[in-house]
Amino acid sequence: MANPLMNESVWFHQQKFEQAEAHYQQILAGTATPGQIAGGSVPPGKMDSLERENRELRKVTDELRAMVLKLENRVSALERGSGVPAASASAPAAATPSKPADDDDDEDDDDMFGSDDEEEAAELERLKAERVAAYKAKKASKPTLIAKSNIILEVKPWDDETDMKELEQKVREVSTDGLKWGSSKLVPVGYGINKLQIMCVVVDDKVGTDFLEESITAHEDFVQSVDVVAFNKI
């Protein structure tokens, strides 16, 4: 069976809503508390639940506030350690206007550094030149070691009729810088033939055995051959 009021516009809870509106106005006026309801009071169990929720919300709020303070203190400590002021750290990097580059200052800086490099290079060159000069002077002051050798030559005549005194004279006539003749003697070979054994001192850089042999055998009327029998460094 159809409800005869289904098509009627009826507000069955109008009284409850009016009481709630009046209670809200009393709360605003300070004559009532949120725990009270118009025409009655909140049940004890509901009041305990509300108070418990209120305490929990206050606890969460206190924890959140403590966490925020802790984070702020940590950020401040980090900013002090890095040397960045708090104000500049909190501001966006893009908000800080950059100073326009001064071309003249850059050129002056380049010239300054360039001058330092040139002066340093010049100083290094001067020190190098002084050290080279000191080394050359030290080397020049040292006595030069002259290498010399003691050579004994045997000069053979053609036959027993060769005048050995004249042959020795011809040998001693060989003269050059770095050659000094020493003692000599005649050594018998056989059949009345003697050979001349003569000593000389030579400077190695100036006189060699090839020179001595060629110079002595040039007296071909007296000399048959020349042999080196001893060669000692002195």
Where do the domains of the chain lie?
14-66, 148-233
pLDDT of 100-148, one tens digit each?
555 555 555 555 555 667 888 888 898 999 999 888 888 777 777 789 9
| Model pTM score | 0.40
How much is the pLDDT for 213? 94
Two structure tokens written together for 177: 């810088």
What is the average pLDDT value for the chain, to the nearest integer? Answer: 78
Q: Note every long-range contact of 181-188, with CB atoms under 8 Å and residues 24 or more positions apart, other chains counting.
A: 187/154
Q: How far apart are CA 47 and CA 56, in angstroms?
A: 14
Provide the percentage of residues in the chain whose pLDDT is more than 90: 35
How much is the pLDDT for 76? 84
Instruction: Tell me which residue has tokens 């005549």.
Output: 157
Which one of 27-36, 74-83, 145-154 scores highest in mean pLDDT? 145-154
Q: How far apart are CA 194 and CA 159, in angstroms?
A: 9
Residue 26 pLDDT class (50, 70, 90 cuts) = confident
pLDDT of 170-179, one tens digit each?
999 999 999 9
CATH topology of domain 148-233: Alpha-Beta Plaits (3.30.70)
Q: How far apart are CA 36 and CA 44, in angstroms?
A: 11
Cα–Cα distance list, 97 to 17, 83, 88, 101, 155 (Å): 60, 20, 12, 12, 104
pLDDT above 80: residue 16: no
